[in-house]
Amino acid sequence: MTTQLKIGMPAGSLASASRGGNLIDLLSAAGFRTSGYDKGGPTKFTGTSLLFGWDGRPQEFGAQLEIGELDVAIAGDDWIKERILEMRIEHGVEMSLDRVLTLNRGEVQLVGIVADSSYKTTEDFLRAVAPGKKLLVCASEMPYLALDWLQRKLAAVGLGDRFRAHSVQKYKTPPKIKEGILVYESWGKTEAKVKNGAVDVGLEISQTGGAIKQYGLTIVETVMRSQTSIYTTAGVQKDPEKRELLEMFLVNLHGAVNAESKVMLLFNVPNSAADQVDAYLRSNALFGEEPTMNRGREYTEYNIQVDAADASKPVALVRYTLAKLGATSINTVPVTSSIPGIRAVRGR
């Protein structure tokens, strides 16, 4: 196969070995080792010629997917939605992008923030403030998500027609409209703009909300929750070779993500105690279809997978219970990939 799958590799925290959930290690666990990615590029997939790494910004990946410049992109849900909205609002283009896998990392929230703590919801704020404004001014690093949010909320409180006009523009450039919603594209520190009265409201990207609290601001709404995901287009699905490569890429990535909280327990049980152990494993759903067993003359060897993140069945408690039931040589082995089957990525 000479076809390559062109993959958008996001610059920023995900490229760091110590930040953003470490995409490098995740790809490696999936069988896709890289070189150059952690150094700013160019990214190369060293273990296979079937994948091509295209270094870029997740802010741009949505548009690149739409025109076929990329087949797959690793990007935050927020940036993909931002580009979809921009293309719809500014260019009348409907983009059709498919989120085919979430990676359980890079989680952020987009929150609406105001300076006055008396407002508890976006609707409260708009009912009180918007009627006295010709221009409702907002700042955000994601201006089209902010515009979409305010348009929906203004319509909900009966002010949609009055604020029908809108303009998205660079921070503090002369307003292009006299009435409506003015959204300034911010390059960060949205909190300062809201606190100092430069704008009426902000849409801020937040992980913990710590900076918002330090500025003494109030969150009136969590507008969106976002994480890093895999996106593609229908065009890739129509190409048989690229569809095959995409499925290969996804099933192995799914296996790496699925394995992140799992360990294997290997242990021996006297045949005389096997029925008790089987009953314990079954009643606690500590295997998939059935436990892997190798029965010998005096002992049965077991192999089970345990979710270390399941607080209801801590690994330590499982090992202790097995030991009480007569298990010996209880070994705990890390899992780097756990693929439940091809069904995990088909039919999404």
- In tens digits, the chain (348 residues) has pLDDT values of 579 999 999 987 666 655 545 899 999 999 999 999 988 899 999 989 999 999 999 999 999 999 999 999 999 999 999 999 999 999 999 999 999 999 998 899 999 999 999 999 999 999 999 999 999 999 999 999 999 999 999 999 999 999 999 999 999 999 999 999 999 999 989 999 999 999 999 999 998 889 999 999 999 999 999 999 999 998 998 999 999 999 999 999 999 999 998 999 999 999 999 999 999 999 999 887 778 899 999 999 999 999 999 999 999 999 999 999 999 999 999 999 999 899 888 865
Which residue blocks in 130-217 are alpha helix, DSSP H? Answer: 143-156, 190-195, 210-214
Whole-number Å distance between alpha carbons of 74 and 65:
11
Q: What is the pTM of this model?
A: 0.90
Residues in a beta bridge with 264: 305, 333
Nearest CA among 93, 78, 75, 82 for reference residue 13: 75
Nearest one of 254, 228, 263, 216 to 348, comparing CA atoms? 254
Three-state DSSP state, 273: helix
Residue 143: is the preceding peptide bond cis (ω within 30°)?
no
